[in-house]
Structure 1
Amino acid sequence: MIQIRKYNPILTWSGERVAKCYARRLVGPGSAGALILLFPVNQLFGLLFGLAMMTIAYYRGKAYRGIEPELAQRASLARRLFLLAAAAKFLTVTTIFWGIAMGATDWQGAMEARATALHWIQSVPSF
Structure 2
Amino acid sequence: MMKKRSLVVVVVLLAAQYASAMEIITLSKFQYGKRWAFTKEEMQLMCRPDHALCALNMSTLMQPLNEKAEQQRKAGHVHAQPIEVILLDDPDRPGQKMSIAPFIERAQQLCVDKTTP
TM over 0.5: no
Structure with higher Rg: it is 1
Q: Which has the higher strand share?
A: 2
* Higher RCO, Cα 8 Å, sep 6+: 1
With structure 2 as the length reference, what TM-score do the two structures score?
A: 0.28
